[in-house]
Amino acid sequence: MAKNGVGLTTEYVTYNRPKVTAVKMTKGPYMFQAFAGSWNFKMIESLQTQVTFTYSFQLRFPFCLFKNLIKNNLQSNVRKRLLDLKSNIESE
């Protein structure tokens, strides 16, 4: 559940620890016709990892008219999640 109260129910479609995990939406907000995402982890050095989030989504009408606004909101959310992940890992 996101801080804004919007949540998705997902199922794993790929899980290859520690390299990648991918999910698809099974239940979520009505605006999404489909939603899927993957998290890829690539070790750069022994204490440095590159994390890449990739999301794909389709919007129902009339939400598709606001695709750019929704996309920008999702990108902002992903940036915050990455910063939170970095902060939590580095605090250990």
Cα–Cα nearest to 20, from 60, 52, 68? 52
- For position 64, what pLDDT does the model report? 94
Distance (Å, rounded) from C-alpha 17 to C-alpha 58?
A: 28
Predicted local confidence at residue 78, as pLDDT: 87
Burial zone of 7 (CB within 10 Å; 0-12 exposed, 13-18 middle, 19+ buried) = exposed
pLDDT tens string, the chain, 92 residues long: the values are: 566 666 889 999 999 988 999 999 999 999 999 999 999 999 998 888 898 999 999 999 999 999 999 999 989 988 998 899 889 988 87
Which pLDDT score, from 0 to 100, does residue 2 have? 60
Q: What angle do CA 66, 9, 31 make, to 5 degrees?
A: 20
Residue 87 to residue 4: CA distance in whole angstroms: 20
